[in-house]
């Protein structure tokens, strides 16, 4: 005898399989290159299941990205916090975490940047999910920047600026690693990030290098 619970569980299972298939295929090949038939076929569900759970392919893509956002952010936060006891160490550890990701066989860049690049309208639900993902990532980076700045100069304006610069370095490293296939893009970004954490040291070094030729010339 089939119960209502059995039916509900089967429906939930079909929805999850559709989300799994959509995420995998779209991340590897792109939104426009992936059709509903391919998603349904890989999911092992009936086409009717697709229309039962999602009103369109875009709705399925947005839902798949929302789920990926939750999983990716949890992975990134957990691994970052595990690698460092202090804010500076955690900030730099972000690039070590990224490098491990870059070295994985299924790395195809940032799913959210990839998706946003295929969608023209800023109000499209897919673009909205991508934007919200970057806002969440920036929020996490900002908490670490706030803690770092509080332990050094205590300027909240610097923390806000630093967090925006940090996000650019993260996304830049992801883009370079995707195009070049070189996981060490994360290490290059890490080196640049380290200079951002110590602006006074960087400025002093620059000033010293500027003055040194004059000193040599006068001797």
CATH code, 113: 1.10.357.10
CATH code, 45: 1.10.10.60
- Please check whether residue 38 lies inside any domain of the structure: yes
Question: Do 10 and 115 have their domain in common?
Answer: no
Question: Do 115 and 184 have their domain in common?
Answer: yes
**pTM score:** 0.84
Alpha helices in 30-106 (DSSP H): 36-43, 47-53, 57-83, 87-102
pLDDT for 17 equals 96
**Domain hosting residue 26, numbered range:** 1-54
Contact 186, 99 (CB under 8 A): yes
Question: Do 7 and 105 have their domain in common?
Answer: no
**176 alpha-carbon distance from chain centroid:** 14
Distances (CA, A) of 64 to 70, 138, 166: 10, 21, 26
Nearest to 88 by CA among 100, 80, 78: 80
Question: Do 45 and 68 have their domain in common?
Answer: no
Contact 7, 39 (CB under 8 A): no
- Count of other CB atoms within 10 angstroms of residue 111: 19
- Domain ends where: 54, 72, 98? 54
- Please check whether residue 10 lies inside any domain of the structure: yes
Q: Tally the domains of the chain.
A: 2
Nearest to 137 by CA among 154, 158, 101, 113: 113
Tens of pLDDT along the chain (219 residues)?
Answer: 434 444 444 556 899 999 999 999 999 999 999 999 999 999 999 889 999 999 999 999 999 999 999 999 999 999 999 998 899 999 999 999 999 999 999 999 999 999 999 999 999 999 999 999 999 999 999 999 999 999 886 677 889 999 999 999 999 999 999 999 999 999 999 999 999 997 654 444 444 444 444 433 333
- Please check whether residue 219 lies inside any domain of the structure: no
């Amino acid at each position: 005898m089939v119960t209502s619970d059995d039916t509900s569980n089967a429906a939930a299972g079909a929805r999850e399989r559709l989300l799994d298939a959509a995420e995998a295929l779209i991340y590897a090949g792109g939104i426009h290159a992936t059709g509903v038939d391919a998603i349904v076929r890989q999911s092992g569900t009936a086409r009717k299941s697709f229309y039962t759970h999602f009103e369109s392919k875009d709705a399925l893509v947005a839902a798949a990205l929302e789920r990926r956002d939750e999983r990716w952010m949890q992975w990134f936060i957990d691994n970052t916090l595990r690698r460092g006891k202090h804010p500076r160490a955690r900030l730099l550890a972000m690039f070590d975490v990224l490098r491990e990701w870059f070295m994985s066989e299924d790395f195809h860049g940032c799913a959210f940047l990839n998706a946003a690049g295929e969608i023209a309208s800023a109000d499209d639900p897919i673009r909205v999910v991508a934007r919200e993902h970057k806002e969440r990532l920036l929020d996490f980076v900002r908490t670490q920047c706030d803690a770092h700045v509080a332990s050094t100069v205590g300027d909240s304006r610097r923390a806000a600026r630093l967090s925006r610069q940090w996000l650019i370095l993260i996304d830049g490293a992801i883009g370079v690693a995707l195009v070049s296939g070189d996981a060490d893009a994360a290490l290059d970004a890490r080196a640049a990030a380290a200079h951002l954490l110590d602006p006074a040291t960087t400025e002093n070094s620059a000033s010293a290098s500027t003055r040194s030729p004059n000193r040599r010339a006068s001797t």
